[in-house]
């Protein structure tokens, strides 16, 4: 697609319509994709469609949207196109939360597997992952003494990631049964998404996206550099704190409900920027839509590629995302 300026509101609208159409088509495909192939006989299998495929498809789109949004915030905030939503310790925090709950559950943790999807919710793993992700980011903010210095924030995110992962390993050493549960939970899967998860994801997206879009001109101003942004009267410290908060909420919710989905948060904003030169406000919304499209498409592929078996969607997004970035790298070198 040709690169166009977002000032041409028409091109932004066309791109948004394209993503909407892709989302709608993929949602229909998601409703039709089953373990035994494609089926449009929805009246015959209404329960299956309404209770499993529909929440899973909508939930996958929402989880992808949260990751795409969080990736766009991270890349704008840190002025780094390689920034991803997990870099402030949310992934390691979610992992530790899951491991602690599993270890506390003792032998019960060993019984948690893919088939025990409902049990995951009951065991409070979703809540633990969400709380762990928020605590990870909170610890990063604490160590960096706020969000005023992006470089300190990044470095503290790395430190917190390493520390919390080490703690997880330590807990798993003492309680090996927690290891399998953690691996399954954080492998990245949309298979556990029900209507409750979908409602939670939708509520978080409805909260964080408008909040971040309200202050998105601050991200535009940061393109000029920190000092120039301050010279324009932008209250950088407060804005950064708000944006880190929305990023943590979005990432925490997505990780808690769908595990660690790789690359969606990194690739979705890239895709938007490749297609459109647009300010951060629309970029956040379009990155969310692109993230939704990417994850839902990956979810459908994960369901159908080796049906009746299912691939973990996190593995698929990692492979596809890796290929995309490699292709991008080669194109730039050419």
Partner 1 sequence: MNGTAPPLQARGIGVTLGGVRVLDEVSIALPAGCWTAIVGPNGAGKSTLLSVLAGLRRPDHGQVSVGGDPIEALAARERARRIAWLAQQGEADGELAVREIVALGRLPHHGLFGAPGANDQRAIDLALEAAGATAFGRRRLGELSGGERQRALLARVLAVQAPVVLLDEPTTHLDAPHQRAVLCCITGLVRQHAAVAAVLHDLTLALAADRVVVMDQGRIRATGSPGDPALHAAIEAVFEQAIVIEPIGRTGVDGTAGTRWVAVPAP
The interface region with partner 1, picked from 65-73, 183-191, 216-224, 322-330 by CB under 8 A, is 216-224
58-66, 228-236, 302-310, 325-333 -> range binding partner 1 (CB under 8 A): 228-236
Long-range pairs for 176-180: beta carbons < 8 A, 24 or more residues apart: 177/102, 177/106, 177/107, 177/109, 177/110, 178/99, 178/102, 178/103, 178/109, 180/109, 180/110, 180/112, 180/113
Contact flag: residue 214 with partner 1 (CB under 8 A): yes
CA angle 49, 54, 56 (to 5 degrees): 120
Choose the binding region for partner 1 from 96-104, 126-134, 172-180, 222-230 (rule: CB under 8 A).
Answer: 222-230
Binding residue for partner 1, selected from 14, 149, 180, 230, defined by CB under 8 A: 230
Q: How far is CA 227 from the centre of its chain?
A: 31
CB of 3 to partner 1, least distance (A): 8
Point out which span in 37-45, 211-219, 287-295, 323-331 binds partner 1 (CB under 8 A). Answer: 211-219
Is position 6 an interface residue for partner 1 (rule: CB under 8 A)?
yes
Residues 6+ apart with CB under 8 A from 11: 4, 5, 276
Which residue lies nearer to partner 1 by CB, 59 or 269?
269
Which residues in the 279-308 window bind partner 1 by CB under 8 A? Answer: 279
Kind and range of the H or E run holding 126: helix 125-143
1, 3, 40, 166: residue in contact with partner 1 (rule CB under 8 A): 3
> Given candidates 14, 29, 159, 220, which one binds partner 1 under the rule CB under 8 A?
220
| Residue 225 near partner 1 by CB under 8 A | yes
Number of residues that bind partner 1 (CB under 8 A): 29
Confirm or reject binding of residue 80 to partner 1 (CB under 8 A).
no
Distance between CA atoms of residues 313 and 235, nearest Å: 39
Single out the residue of 258, 290, 261 nearest to residue 273, CA to CA.
Answer: 290
Which are the contacts of 5, defined by CB distance < 8 A and separation ≥ 6?
11, 277, 278
Our finding on whether 221 is near partner 1 (CB under 8 A) is: yes
3-state class of 65 per DSSP?
helix
Binding site for partner 1 (CB under 8 A): 3, 5-8, 79, 214-215, 217-218, 220-221, 223-228, 230-235, 239, 273, 277-279
């Amino acid at each position: 697609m040709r690169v166009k300026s977002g000032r041409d509101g028409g091109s932004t609208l066309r791109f948004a319509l394209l993503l909407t159409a892709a989302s709608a088509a993929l949602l229909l495909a998601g409703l039709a994709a089953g373990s035994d192939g494609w089926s449009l006989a929805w009246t015959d299998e209404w329960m299956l469609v309404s209770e499993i495929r529909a929440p899973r498809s909508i939930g996958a789109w929402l989880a992808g949207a949260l990751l795409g949004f969080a990736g766009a915030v991270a890349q704008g905030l840190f002025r780094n196109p390689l920034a991803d939503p997990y870099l402030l310790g949310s992934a390691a925090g979610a992992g530790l939360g899951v491991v602690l709950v599993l270890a506390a559950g003792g032998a019960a943790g060993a019984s948690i597997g893919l088939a025990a999807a409902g049990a995951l919710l009951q065991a409070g793993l979703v809540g633990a992952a969400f709380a762990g992700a928020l605590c990870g980011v909170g610890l990063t903010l604490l160590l960096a003494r706020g969000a005023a210095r992006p470089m300190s924030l990044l470095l503290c995110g790395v430190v917190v990631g390493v520390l919390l992962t080490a703690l997880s390993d330590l807990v798993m050493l003492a309680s090996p049964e927690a290891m399998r549960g953690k691996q399954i939970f954080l492998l990245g899967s949309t298979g556990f998404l029900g209507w409750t998860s979908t409602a939670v994801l939708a509520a978080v997206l409805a909260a964080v996206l408008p909040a971040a879009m309200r202050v998105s001109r601050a991200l535009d101003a940061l393109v000029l550099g920190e000092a120039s942004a301050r010279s324009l009267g932008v209250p950088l410290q407060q804005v950064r704190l708000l944006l880190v908060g929305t990023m943590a909420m979005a990432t925490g919710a997505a990780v808690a409900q769908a595990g660690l989905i790789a690359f969606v948060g990194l690739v979705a904003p890239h895709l938007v920027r490749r297609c459109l030169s647009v300010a951060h406000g629309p970029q956040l919304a379009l990155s969310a839509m692109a993230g939704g499209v990417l994850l839902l498409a990956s979810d459908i592929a994960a369901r159908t590629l080796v049906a009746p078996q299912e691939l973990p969607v996190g593995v698929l997004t990692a492979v596809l995302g890796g290929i995309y970035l490699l292709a991008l790298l080669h194109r730039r070198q050419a």
